[in-house]
Amino acid sequence: MLRPGGPLLLGFHVGDEATLKTEGYGGHPMKVRVHRRQHAQLFTWLGDAGFVVESHRTLTSAGSRLGGMILARRRSADVPGDGG
């Protein structure tokens, strides 16, 4: 739970696909479904959940997939009794 106006920093993989990851860092076995998302989809979900997006970035690197970062704040009016 975030206080009214509280910041949320969200990091994610950018893309449209989902893959099954079977090996983690150091070769450790795992079974995790990795979902990549576009910024626009996360903007919608954050807005629906009562957040306002303040900033966003796409991170690039020659050796890895695209990454995304979004900085958002919780709207005060979404907290019962807050009067915001």
Question: For all residues of the chain together, what is the average pLDDT?
Answer: 89
Tokens read off for 49: 């959940």
Cα 66 from Cα 84, distance rounded (Å): 37
pLDDT of residue 82: 46
Cβ count within 10 A of residue 78:
13
Identify the residue with better confidence: 81 or 3.
Answer: 3
Write down the domain spans for the chain: 7-77
pTM of this prediction? 0.77
- State pLDDT tens for residues 37-66: 999 999 999 999 999 999 999 999 888 789
In the predicted model, is pLDDT for residue 81 greater than 70? no
Cα 30 from Cα 76, distance rounded (Å): 40
Of the pLDDT bands very low, low, confident and very high (cuts 50, 70, 90), residue 16 is: very high
pLDDT of residue 65: 81
One-letter amino acid identity for 19? T
The gap between the terminal CA atoms of the chain, to the nearest Å, is 17
